[in-house]
Amino acid sequence: MLVKWIRCTVVDRRGFERGQRKWAGLLGEPGFRGQGGGWSRHRPGVAHIFAFWESRAFYDSFMARSYDRLAASQSGTFKDSQARLFEYRFDVKTGFEPRFTDADLVRVALCRVHEERVEHFTLMQEKVWNPAMAGSPGMIRGMFGEGAEHDFLVLSMWRAAAEHGKYRTERVERLALRAQTEADIASLTGDIVELEPSWTV
């Protein structure tokens, strides 16, 4: 499965949201699995979109045929757009599906990993971080993906009410020590996204 993560700064909110609903046209596309997104909780005006495709081939075919037509309605409503692609590697918790209807929040983390530490980082994600996240109240499901140049995506879906109690700071610090996260990661950026139901396809 292929994941596309788009982050942009919206300059015309009403126009952007109107255009976002036009992406319902993705439903008939071969290989399309689902799309959702919303607004950053910490950065005003920043929108995140997550799109899922069966494979890179289906995605490339869509980009060549239909993308421009669907994207046209949002032209001029945003700036500083960044899009990244990731190949699904494994679930965080179990049974990941690209469904957004039962979640209120998405937590997204982008980890750039030192080349010689990729294998260790991936193993620690599976053995240390995944069980800890899977045991957190309010965490519904998540996935771990690999991008270009040793970039990794950790995406998890949450019920908002329980999200606050998810990780206490000491617990994260303890897990990070155990997983030797500092030695693995060159940079880490992330966000918490409040999902907009009308953007879900």
**What string of pLDDT tens digits covers the 201 residues of the chain?**
999 999 999 999 999 999 999 999 999 999 999 999 999 999 999 999 999 999 999 999 999 999 999 999 999 999 999 999 999 999 998 889 999 999 999 999 999 999 999 999 999 999 999 888 888 878 899 999 999 999 999 999 998 766 655 556 667 888 889 999 999 999 999 999 999 999 999
Domains of the chain: 2-199 (3.30.70.100)
The token pair that represents 41 in the structure block: 């909780």
DSSP helix/strand/coil, 135: coil
Q: Quote the CA–CA distance of 151 and 188 in Å, as a whole number.
A: 10
pLDDT in tens, 7-29: 999 999 999 999 999 999 999 99
pLDDT in tens, 37-64: 999 999 999 999 999 999 999 999 999 9
Q: Quote the CA–CA distance of 156 and 22 in Å, as a whole number.
A: 25
Judge contact between 176 and 93, C-beta under 8 A. Answer: no
